[in-house]
Each structure stands twice: as structure tokens, then as C-alpha cells.
A = this chain, B = another copy of it.
């Protein structure tokens, strides 16, 4: 029956009722003069603390403002919503927007007395930044060249010490998974010993953030001089390591500080490069890589069956 519409009409014109998305405070100010005292109290509370009000029921808000449920609903109607329920929903949205709005507090350095939540936010933000920077700065031509070399390599050696050593191992693990012959070296002596074995068609990859790690440069030099295709993953495109690199893949250097050593942040960018290499090679050698990948996917799916324990 059309009788129901009557109440809604009071709100305004023939608008199909576009619920205010974020311009709520404005609406409150505009409509405040045409409100009764009680309704003004409600409107004020709502404009004052959207998040808080969103958490309240109609009864709660009525109590908070010292009014009744009916008044709260009337106010909601006046603000353009079908009822309190919808106002509340809009309020929640508004709160969320405000929340996300005030984010840039995390650009500062991590302090000794930062609470845990800040540490998490800052670290996450920083690593995201590193990823974005690295992705933006990666030379896709160099990357494609490195992928080509890897895809056709007889064998691949990866050099890295310290934190970069783990990245080297990560790459090796991935390449092995799709059927390539790869080995990571952290021991400089063994690395050089093995580098001597390399020849044209093989690939040697050096991972070093500073680009000045002698223990990593040395085996790359040997590999280079023996005719292997050499790749350097470094944060310094002008560092010594690039002397012996056919292809240089540059990672972003994130801002470092006392509680955030370079060795830590560099890892993120290096791993992105590693992932890119892996996916690139997997694409190139898809025929061979697909079964291997499918197998590991299967293995995981099998594990997924496990439900909550006894």
C-alpha cells in the first residue's frame, strides 16, 4: 500500500533517495536548522563520532543522546536513509574511510619505543615500498635476457653469502623444482672451485646487495672468464660486481636505519627478482615445467584436506 511512503516524503524532494556516502557531516550541518532539539542531539552525536555510533544499536544511541528510539529513526530519515539500519551501515563505511585516510603516520623510522602494531605497519609499508620500487626499476630487457640464458643453461650456479645466501638458495630451490640443474654456493672457496667448471652456455648468478662482496664477486669473475653467462642481482648498478656481469638486475635500496639494516630490506627486492626469474623460466620451459609444478600443487592439495585436529 502506498501509505508507507508518506513518512519518507518528509525527508525532501522526489530524489530516489541517494544515501549520503561520505558527505554526512555536511548534510548534518545543512539540515540541522530544520531539526528539533532532540534530533539535533542525535545528529550531532552521529557527526561527532561516526565510528562510535556505528557500534551502537538504536536503543544505545537513543540512550547516549538522552532521547528515544523513535527520535533516532526520525533523524535517520531526515538524513536521507530509509531507517536507522541504513544510517548505521553508512556510518560504518564512513568510519572505515576515515580510518584508511589517516595512514601516512607510518612513514617515519621505527623507534625503540614503537608499539608492536606500529612496527608491523611500518615494516609492511616499507617492504611494500621496496617491492614497488624494485618492480619499477627492473629492466625487463635484462630480465628477459637472464631468463633466456637460464632456460637454456646446462647448469646454473648461484652465489650469495649472508642474507643473500638465503635468496640464492631460494632461487635454487625454485629452479630445481622445474627441472633445471642449479646449485647455490655460500662457501667462497667451493664457489670458485665450481665456477672453474662453467663454460659457455652455463649461467652464473651473483646476489649481493652492496655489489662489493668479494666472496661473491670472485666466483662470478671466474665464471665470466670461463665463458659462462653471468647475471648480477644487486642494489648498486655501478658496483664492482657488474664488471663481470652480462646482465644486471637492480633491486631497490630501501631506506635503512639502525633497527632496519640494509641486509634486511634488500632481501625483499632480491626475492622479487628471484620470483620473476622463476616465473619467466617456467613460462619459457612450460612444457617441461608444468608437470613438475602440477605435481607439487597436487602434493599441497593433498595436505589441504587436513581439518582441525582432534
Q: Which chain A residues have a beta carbon within 8 Å of chain B's beta carbons? A: 7-8, 10-12, 21-22, 33-34, 49, 52-57, 60, 63-64, 88-90, 92-97, 99-101, 110, 112-117, 119-121, 123-124, 127-128, 131-132, 134-135, 138, 140, 143-144, 147, 162-163, 166, 169-170, 173-174, 210-215, 217, 236, 238-240, 243, 258-264, 267-268, 271-272, 275-276, 278-280, 282-283, 286, 290, 293-294, 296-297, 300, 303-310
Contact = CB atoms under 8 A, between A and B. Distances in A.
A92 B128 CA distance: 26
A174 B162 CA distance: 10
Contacts of A21: 96, 99
Contact of A283 (B100, B236, B259, B309): B259
B116 A143 contact: yes
Contact of A276 (B92, B120, B275): B120
B264 A278 contact: yes
Contact of A55 (B11, B236, B263, B307): B11
State the copy count for this chain: 2
A55 B10 CA distance: 6
A232 to B, nearest CB: 12
A17 to B, nearest CB: 12
A21 B95 CA distance: 10
B123 A279 contact: yes
Contacts of A275: 123, 127, 264
B140 A120 contact: yes
A100 B97 contact: yes
A56 B303 contact: no
Given A11-B64, A123-B272, A116 B131 contact: no
Nearest to A53: B11
Across the A-B interface, the 6 shortest Cβ-Cβ residue pairs: A93-B96, A124-B135, A212-B304, A10-B55, A11-B52, A116-B140
Given A100-B97, A271-B268, A112 B283 contact: yes
Contacts of A121: 135
